[in-house]
Amino acid sequence: MKKASRPRPDDLRPEYDLAALGPGVRGKYAKRLKGTRLVALKPEVAAAFPTSEAVNEALRAVLKVTAIRRRSAAMPKRSSPR
């Protein structure tokens, strides 16, 4: 059974003039975030990386190592000279 919703009390102070605030703008800051991706780190991981640049540096190193491994795995084996 669904509970009946109670009316919410008006918690705005009387001195707030909503007309002075103007209309809200949807997506006002969307351009700033274009091309970014937010991820949540576990607390123990976040403690190891104090800044976003530290995280990016570590991930670039991982990408570099995995790219080297992929290239070496894709290279044909050379036969030893006799």
Total structural domains within the chain? 1
In a domain, 44, yes or no: no
**pLDDT exceeds 70 at position 39:** yes
More confident residue, 18 or 44: 44
22 occurs within a structural domain = no
For residue 68, being part of any structural domain is answered with yes
Calculate mean pLDDT across residues 50-78.
84
Q: What's the pLDDT at 58?
A: 94
Answer whether residue 64 is part of any domain: yes
Residue 4: inside a domain, yes or no? no
Domain extent at residue 59: 49-75
- pLDDT for the residue 81: 62
Confidence label for 80 from pLDDT (cuts 50, 70 and 90): low
Q: Is 56 within the bounds of a domain?
A: yes
Torsion 46-49-53-57 (CA) sign: negative
The answer to whether residue 69 sits within a structural domain is yes
In whole angstroms, how far apart are CA 62 and each of 7, 16, 68, 69?
Answer: 53, 52, 10, 11
Report, as an integer, the average pLDDT of 37-53: 91
